[in-house]
Amino acid sequence: MLSKEENELLTQTDAGTPMGKLMRSYWIPALLSEEVPAPDSPPVRVRMLGEELVAFRDTEGRIGLIGEHCAHRGTSLFFGRNEECGLRCVYHGWKYDVEGHVIETPAEPQDSDFRKKLRHTAYPTHEANGVIYACLGPREKMPLFPNYEWTQVPLQNAYVTKCLLESNYLQGLEGECDSSHLSFLHRTFTNERNQPLYKSDTAPFYETEETDFGVRLIATRNTENQHYLRFSAFIMPIYGCVPAGRPTNELEGYEIHAYVPADDTHCWRYDIGFRRDRAVREDEVHRRKQINPDYTRVRNARNNYLQDRRMQKTVNFTGIEDFLNHDACATESMGAVFDRSKEHLGVSDKAVIAVRKFLLNSAREVQSGREPPHVVRDGRHNRFPHIDCFAHILPRKVPWREHFDYLTPTARKENPASFAARQKVAS
């Protein structure tokens, strides 16, 4: 249980708030590449961390992410003309480049240098495998773009979807840190051969470890002779990494679910997946069928997620189609911002508690002037090879730390040969 003050600290992300300041220290998803598909294509609105922005791809293919409202008299630049390496306001023709420079003020006298005194809100962007990331913090403190594995694989080896969740970002993120709900929320009755351990052991044993990137989360379910391990991870500041959609014992790749605050009562969920050694098949991106062209979900709170009560008795635990909608129902039905001072936590919430603690401590440290965790400023260390997520079955007599020694925080020091071999496989 959190105090109301702690809950507000965690859930409020506008500029000037502790968590807003923390999140602005990182590169986070802003939109999909498909939203601005070609040079001089129409601009799109982007709402993130409570800010109203527009994104556009200029004539040379560069991505701009700038304040939505014209610096002149506030007209929305969403309606602007994207032409000749700039976005031009429809009201008086003021034109902005991707860096936020005002490059033309045609209603002013020709000899006026007024535009040179202005600088419009603009944020740096980085495009990788279908996602356009942005860093909304001060430019002088902008970190290097992290060299995550999912941003480095060939384009055909990755996929991404995006949808709107009508709740605070933390409610979605906490779901990624909770393996016990798999035994219930996502249970099926028609494919139980693939879920025997989820059904027989509904109370997994949790371990958590703070790491350089955030928190590693390990959930163990036991049978008489085996234990089923599920490795997931929280990566600062809004990423939950899970072995979603992958068979047990497969180390081919995993999914990264990012919960980007649009504001304090809405967030954008990005599901990024990758395969290390092969191209993604179209049938593996089934989630696209659940999302409308405007990135709202087909199944949502207003239509009760199209829940089918007969299906709930015979097909799956919820009567709702697709894991994406199961998660949305669970998190959105808590309300826009859940009051965590009213909850009652148990042993099964150990991982959620660990992630909350990490976020709270990180926000407080940044408020006190310290460097945020997991911010990369030195290119020599821009690599995080021991982030990995998968599900695996081992004999009960085999400790997971011996079998997966590269996941140990001190793996480089303890077993450099194994660490180097795993790094080679991951790269």
In order, the DSSP letters of 97-133 are -TT-BEEE-TTS-TT--GGGG-B--EE-EEEETTEEE
Supply the angle between the helices 323-332 and 169-176 in degrees, to the nearest 10. Answer: 130
Cα distance between residue 19 and residue 7, in whole Å: 11
Cβ neighbours of residue 270 under 8 Å, at least 6 residues apart? 29, 131, 160, 161, 162, 256, 257, 258, 260
Residue 304 DSSP SS3: helix
Predicted pLDDT at 174: 97
Predicted pLDDT at 396: 86
- Give the domains, in start order, of the chain with CATH numbers: 28-134 (2.102.10.10), 149-396 (3.90.380.10)
Cα distance between residue 39 and residue 48, in whole Å: 23
- Say if residues 301 and 286 touch (Cβ distance below 8 Å): no
Please give the structure tokens belonging to residue 80. Answer: 């602007």
- Say if residues 104 and 94 touch (Cβ distance below 8 Å): yes
Predicted pLDDT at 1: 78
Cα distance between residue 205 and residue 217, in whole Å: 11
Predicted pLDDT at 237: 97
For 305-340, letters b (16+ CB in 10 Å) and e give beeeeebeeebbebbbbbbbbbbbbbbbeeeebbeb
**How far is residue 15 from each of residues 9, 29, 145, measured CA to CA in Å?**
13, 17, 21
Cα distance between residue 215 and residue 387, in whole Å: 10
Nearest to 213 by CA among 377, 361, 376, 423: 376
Cβ neighbours of residue 336 under 8 Å, at least 6 residues apart? 166, 167, 168, 264, 265, 266
* Residue linked to tokens 């535009």: 115
Predicted pLDDT at 13: 98
**How far is residue 308 from each of residues 161, 166, 373, measured CA to CA in Å?**
25, 21, 44
Cα distance between residue 326 and residue 309, in whole Å: 14
Cα distance between residue 300 and residue 287, in whole Å: 14
Q: Cβ–Cβ contacts within 10 Å for residue 212, how many?
A: 13
Predicted pLDDT at 183: 86
pTM of the entire structure? 0.92
Predicted pLDDT at 322: 93
Q: Over its length of 427 residues, how does the chain's per-residue pLDDT go in tens digits?
A: 799 999 999 999 999 999 999 999 999 999 999 999 999 999 999 999 999 999 999 999 999 999 999 999 999 999 999 999 999 999 999 999 999 999 999 999 988 988 888 999 999 999 999 999 999 999 999 999 998 999 999 999 999 999 999 999 999 999 999 988 888 898 888 765 555 566 678 888 999 999 889 999 999 988 778 888 999 999 999 999 999 867 788 778 899 999 999 999 999 999 999 999 999 998 889 899 999 999 999 999 999 999 999 999 999 999 999 999 999 999 999 999 999 999 999 999 999 999 999 999 999 999 999 999 999 887 765 555 578 888 888 898 888 888 887 776 554 444 444 444 444 443 3
Predicted pLDDT at 418: 41
Cα distance between residue 333 and residue 347, in whole Å: 23
CA atoms within 13 A on the CB side of 201: 15
- Say if residues 315 and 190 touch (Cβ distance below 8 Å): yes
Please give the structure tokens belonging to residue 1. Answer: 């249980």
